[in-house]
Amino acid sequence: MAMGVSVERIDAAGPASVGESPVWRAAEEAFYWVDIPARKIVRFHVATGVRSEWVLPEKVACIAFDQAGRVLAGMETGLFSVTLPEAGGSGSAGASATVPPSQIRKLAAPVFPAQDMRFNDGRCDRQGRFWAGTMVQDMSLASPLGALFRFDAQGVLSAPVIDGLITQNGLAWSPDGATMYLSDSHPLKRVIWAFDFDVESGTPRNRRVFADLHDHAGRPDGAAVDADGCYWTCANDAGLLLRFTPQGVLDRKIEVPAVKPSMCAFGGRDLDTLFVTSIRPGAGATDDDGAVFAIRAGVRGLPEPEYTGAL
């Protein structure tokens, strides 16, 4: 491990089966993420150590917030607006609540080209448009029917912007928003692409290979960009965080105790903590697998953009 790097498991956050979509919400000084098969959105309030969770009616894979604190969630059957009630009402660690149907509203849905599909990785671009991709849930099929979609501030879901994806992942934008990153984390792909991104229209162009993880280790799962414009990807199956410069050169490697780190996001009051979710494998799991980690690597991130439309 590099000098000056600290890696802490957040025990109070609790384990997940498939932890994904970490989001730092500065207004609450709280860290959110999802557990996909458990159908949960989870919150950890850093200052108090209080963990809360909300159960949804279907799998939830990615989330973003609007300025009012409502959640935009990519789930199995579409994109939804979710208003989170007070979890349990007690404020105690582990408080849980089921989100009532009256506080969940379907916003849009693509035409899924196959059965058993869902949304996967998603987040907002620098202009506050929400992007998310779809995938066939059975990864053993290696079905290239996944696609990337844009949900704009007017509440319009685009046609597929990028298609032919097996396991869409790795969405992130450069600090100026002019470069978009996208990966396919399926074992047959393991590639990260970069695009020139038109910030006015929200259109990616000039797709090119940014990094091929066949040349490194693991599969490129969720990602984040730091204040220096470097791209951090979770190297799933390799227990690593990899940082690439804007030129696509690997310049840092940090070991993570979990073998399957899944997504990372900068947070903390100074945005100097990299929160990392992970996945608990089906066999041979340790206490670290499925946990959330706080990594301090001497770098800062950027504020997570909020969705600018009406939820």
Question: Which residues are the active-site residues?
Answer: 221
Binding residue per annotation — 118?
Answer: yes
Binding residue per annotation — 236?
Answer: no
Integer CA distances (angstroms), 138 to 141, 142, 286, in order: 6, 8, 24
Answer whether 51's CB lies under 8 Å from 81's CB.
Answer: no
Binding residue per annotation — 184?
Answer: no
Give the closest residue to 248 by CA, choosing from 212, 218, 221.
212
Which tokens hold the place of 173? Answer: 């934008």
Binding residue per annotation — 120?
Answer: yes
Give the closest residue to 192 by CA, choosing from 180, 184, 200, 204.
184
Binding residue per annotation — 206?
Answer: no
Establish how many alpha carbons lie within 13 A of residue 99's alpha carbon, considering only the half-sphere containing its beta carbon. Answer: 25
- Bridge partners of 63, per DSSP, are 73
* Helical residues (DSSP H) of 74-173, grouped into ranges: none
Report the distance separating Cα 87 and Cα 98, nearest Å.
8
Backbone φ and ψ of 103, nearest 5°: -110, 15
Task: Give the annotated binding-site residues for a divalent metal cation.
Answer: 20, 169, 221
Task: Give the annotated binding-site residues.
Answer: 20, 118, 120, 138, 169, 221
Task: Give the annotated binding-site residues for substrate.
Answer: 118, 120, 138
